[in-house]
Each structure stands twice: as C-alpha cells, then as structure tokens.
Amino acid sequence: MPEEFVYWKADNDGLWYFHLKGPDNEIFAQSKGYETMQNCLDAIESVKRYAPNAQPCQKS
C-alpha cells in the first residue's frame, strides 16, 4: 500500500481529522480537528506543499 492521507469526520466532536500513513499503514502524522471537510483537505494540501522543504529543527 502506498503512502496516503486518510481523513474522516469524528463522531464524538463532529470535527474533521487526517492521518498521514506510510506504506506499512503506520501513522506518521496526525492533524488537529477542522470544522469543515474543506478545511481538512486544505490542510492536507498545505502539508503536501510545504513538507518537502521542511528542515528538522530541535525545540530548545
């Protein structure tokens, strides 16, 4: 299975969430909750756009 973004609407709070999953189905990242599906999809697109250029930065 290739890497994928999995998104859903939670039953308990009605917010939309996503996971970034690896080829072995391991969750690499999880999102905060979004009010609308479109906001969730926009966040996925932001991760896709900005992550390739992100550099590791240790918080001090």
pLDDT of 57 over the 80 cut: yes
Residue 2 confidence (pLDDT) = 85
What is the CATH topology of the domain spanning 4-53? Double Stranded RNA Binding Domain (3.30.160)
CB-based contact 19:25 (threshold 8 Å): no
Residue 1 confidence (pLDDT) = 65
DSSP state of 33: -
CB-based contact 25:32 (threshold 8 Å): no
Residue 33 confidence (pLDDT) = 98
**Quick one: pLDDT band at residue 53, thresholds 50, 70, 90?**
confident
Quick one: tokens of 32? 């905060």
Mean pLDDT over 32-55 rounds to 95
DSSP state of 53: G
Mean pLDDT over 20-48 rounds to 96
Domain coordinates of the chain in residue numbers? 4-53
